[in-house]
Amino acid sequence: MSPELTVFLVAMSPIVELRGAIPLALNVYHLSYWWSYLLSVSGNFIPLAGIVVLARPISQFLSSRSSFFERLFSWLFSQTRKKTEKLSWLGKGLTVVILTALPIPFVGGWTGALAAFVLEIPLKRALVLLAIGVALAGVIVMTLTLVL
């Protein structure tokens, strides 16, 4: 597998996201700064867009057919609501951007996308907010990678 594809796929993965993809691209594969940033940010954004677009129809379909999925989605949404409640004073949009941009474990793009869904942010606005958050996360991780 090519280094570019590896970096792109690592950026798509939950938990690791671009926090792992940028250091991998720079320190292991020695890709250029801009190419590392572009691959990582775009790879991180793709699943987030998918979550925002598909979360509601999938959760409604599965919940209506299975009590297991109804409980699972209820738990998942309550966990996301708990994380977003701490930031609710910032407003929905800024909450999504901050959750997406923070490059710390168990908070990041996937949490931001779920928050956008749970907070019922309109699709186009959610995609813009997530793109801003992922771009900021990329800048933060790139800076930390180069400094440390």
Q: Which domain holds residue 23?
A: 3-147
Contacts 24+ apart (CB under 8 A), 79-87: 80/111, 80/114, 80/115, 80/118, 81/118, 83/107, 83/111, 83/115, 84/115, 84/118, 84/119
How many folded domains does the chain comprise? 1
Query: Would the pLDDT of 113 be above 90?
Result: yes
Q: Averaged over 52-61, what is the pLDDT?
A: 92
pLDDT digits (tens, 9 = 90+) for 20-32: 999 999 999 999 9
Provide the pLDDT confidence category of residue 76 given band limits of 50, 70 and 90.
confident
Q: What is the mean pLDDT of the chain?
A: 92
